[in-house]
Amino acid sequence: MIPPDQLTDPTVRAFVNAVNAGDRSAFQAVLTPDATMSDDGSDRDIAQWADKEIFSSGGHMDVEKESDGGLALIVDYRNDTWGEMRTAWRFVTDGGRVSRFETGQA
């Protein structure tokens, strides 16, 4: 596993740290105001998705590997709803913030 503080891209590092800390404010701060996301290929409302998949269910990311300069991750993701699953994450950043992320089973 790669410790979050050793992730290559600082914006992705901030995203992972916010998720793992369960910190809504830090999570929202790392996103652009018009950020978008998809889960398993379907676009979702970020606020609703994050509440369900991260904040109300103890979401946590253990990063297995990174590629594309740190903008693509393979993660062992776990939460109280689904348990643990291997997931892929891809990030688009803009000015130090995430403008889009896509996640799904790896």
**Binning pLDDT at 50, 70 and 90, where does residue 78 land?**
very high
20-75 tens-digit pLDDT = 999 999 999 999 999 999 999 999 999 999 999 999 999 999 999 999 999 999 99
DSSP letter string, the chain: -B-GGG-SSHHHHHHHHHHHHT-HHHHHHHEEEEEEEEETTEEE-HHHHHIIIIITTT-EEEEEEEEGGGTEEEEEEEETTTEEEEEEEEEEEETTEEEEEEEEE-
- Tokens for 101, please give them: 């992320």
User: What class, spelled out in words, does domain 4-105 have in CATH?
Assistant: alpha beta
pTM (whole model) above 0.85: yes
